[in-house]
Structures are given as C-alpha cells and as structure tokens.
Amino acid sequence: MNSDASEPALIGVDWGTSSLRAFLISKDGQILDGISSPQGIMQVPGKNYETVLDRLIGHWLAQTDLPVLASGMITSRNGWIETTYARMPLDAGGLASALVPHDIASGTRIHFVTGASIEHAGRPDVMRGEETQIIGASALALSDGTFVMPGTHSKWVQVSNGQIMDFSTYMTGEIFAALKEHTILGTLMEDDEFNSEAFKAGVTVAMEDKADLLHNLFHVRTLPLMGKIPKTAAADYMSGLLIGTEVAAATDNASTIGTITLVGRSDLSDRYEIALQTANIESRRAPDDIVAKGHFKIACAAGLIG
C-alpha cells in the first residue's frame, strides 16, 4: 500500500511572525490534517523553535519519517535560519533549488523555503512566505494575473504561467494599527460592528484624492468631532481611506489589470473585496491554505515526494 496516493508524504509549515500553521500532506497533494498555533516567531521564548515544532508535529513524525518544508518569517533575521532571497522570475523549480536543509536533533531534516526579493529603481522589496502561497495558487488553476495578499504588510504580486514576475509591499495594515493605537485619531473611535458605508466612504475619498492621504486622515478626527459621522464609524472610515489609497496606488498604472485573485478568507480580505468593487475591479478568492499546495509543489520539484 506504500504507493497509495492518500498516504502522508510531506509536512508543510507556514511559520509567520504572529502564528504558525502546519499541514500533513498526502502523496497527491491533499491536506490530511492541519494544526495552527499562535506561536509565531516573535512568540517563541529563547528562539527554541525545535521544541515548539516537536510538540506541534511530533505525532506526525513519530509514525513515519517525512520531509518537512518550512516557509515564512522563520527564515528571516529574527527567525531560526536566515536565508538569502531568491530573485524574479521565480517558480516552484527555482524555490526547490534554493531550499536550505537543516537537520534537527531528532534526525528530521527541515527544508527551509527562502524568501523572494526584487528591486524597483534601486529600492528593494521582500517577501517571506507569500512566494510559497503563490506557487500553491498555481496548483489551483490560478496561475496568472495579479494576486493581492492582505495583511500587516499586504503584497500585490504579478504572476505569469505560474511564475512570480514582480511584487510590491504596502504597509497598510501596520499603519492602520499604529494610527489607531498611537495617534489622536484613535481617541474618538468607538468599537462596533463593521460599518460598510463608512468603509466605502473612506475608499471613495481615497480614490478621488489618492495623493492626499496625510490630509484626508485628519478627517478621521474632524468628522466625528463635528458630529458628521458617529464615533463608531471612525475606524472603518480610516480603514477605507488606507485600503482605498493602497488599491488606487497599486492599480494606477495598470489599465488592463483584469480579475484580481484575493488570497485569504479573512475579514480583512472582505474589506479588500469591497474596495476593489468600488474601484470597478473584478476579484475572485483563493483559499488561504494554498500555502500547503505550495509546499507540495516545491517538494515535488525538489524530488522530496517518494
């Protein structure tokens, strides 16, 4: 039965800054089991990554010796093993040939997927983890066009025939949090359910006035101060201003942008979907567990699947 396509063949680990997900993957690339943990790389005291990994996936490894692929911020300067960045264009074969093996005490070999970098006019951009998700998307017949990956640092990625050609990072998510928590804009905000009208109003202003973010943000204070919007709408209006500014900038020089593939099923992705609709841009959704498909494709390209 060792040729059974449904038997375990790979463990994929997506280890980011604030969380970790691991997948038990079959010979034919299906997810057999999955776990998630809040132990992102910044939440591992003493950088004792091996102990964390053993506790989380040790039961999978105990049954049989499986290759482990790990992607994400775990390969950054603040992670476990710092790897160099691969350059564009980049596909599963390119990432497979750049894998960095590391044997841990238990004898298991971890293959680290390196991140990717590109330069525009001498200014570097980097990703770690998203490249593996994009490679996974190409296993789902989502192999072309623009991918948008919302998050703390959102990524806009250009893909052609399953190859990553170009990408740009937007600091939108982290800037939203800093403005809400650490400027006067947060002081008039009151939490409530998502207010889609306030969000859309922010998006619309940002798209009309796309270079004027530093001014438009001041209205996040004056609108509730003057009673023009409720305090419960202020955070969503600001979110709309920021995501709208991102969408306007990222699509500015792209008259033929086509359908955008939004990665993820989070509340944040829902906001991007609304912003793209407001900009008259079509979008579709890719599941956020495409990272496991990416681990599988890279492992296949590296000859690690028996």
User: What residues make contact with a copy of itself under the rule CB under 8 A?
Assistant: 77, 117, 122-126, 153, 168-172, 174-175, 178-179, 181-185, 205, 210-219, 222-223, 225-226, 228, 242, 245-246, 248-250, 252
- Between residues 153 and 231, which has the closer beta carbon with respect to a copy of itself? 153
**Which secondary structure element, helix H or strand E, spans residue 15, and what is its range?**
strand 8-15
- Between residues 43 and 222, which has the closer beta carbon with respect to a copy of itself? 222
- Between residues 165 and 225, which has the closer beta carbon with respect to a copy of itself? 225
Shortest spacing between CB 246 and a copy of itself, in angstroms: 5
Q: Looking at 93-236, which runs of residues are DSSP E strands?
A: 100-103, 109-112, 115-120, 123-127, 145-149, 154-160, 163-170
State how far the Cα of 180 lies from the Cα of 187, in Å rounded to an integer.
8
- Between residues 216 and 283, which has the closer beta carbon with respect to a copy of itself? 216
| Phi–psi pair at 252, nearest 5 degrees | -60, -45
- Between residues 125 and 270, which has the closer beta carbon with respect to a copy of itself? 125
Shortest spacing between CB 249 and a copy of itself, in angstroms: 5
Q: Reply yes or no: is the peptide bond before residue 45 cis, omega within 30 of 0.
A: no
Half-sphere exposure of 286 (CA within 13 A, CB side): 31
- Between residues 170 and 296, which has the closer beta carbon with respect to a copy of itself? 170
Q: For the beta carbon of residue 251, count every other beta carbon within 10 angstroms.
A: 19
Shortest spacing between CB 154 and a copy of itself, in angstroms: 9
State how far the Cα of 262 lies from the Cα of 147, in Å rounded to an integer.
6
Shortest spacing between CB 179 and a copy of itself, in angstroms: 6
- Between residues 142 and 185, which has the closer beta carbon with respect to a copy of itself? 185
Shortest spacing between CB 10 and a copy of itself, in angstroms: 31
State how far the Cα of 297 lies from the Cα of 38, in Å rounded to an integer.
26
Shortest spacing between CB 215 and a copy of itself, in angstroms: 5
- Tokens 């409720």 map to which residue? 230
Shortest spacing between CB 157 and a copy of itself, in angstroms: 13
| Phi–psi pair at 62, nearest 5 degrees | -65, -30
Rounded to 10 degrees, the C-alpha dihedral 178/235/266/41 comes to 20
State how far the Cα of 240 lies from the Cα of 215, in Å rounded to an integer.
14
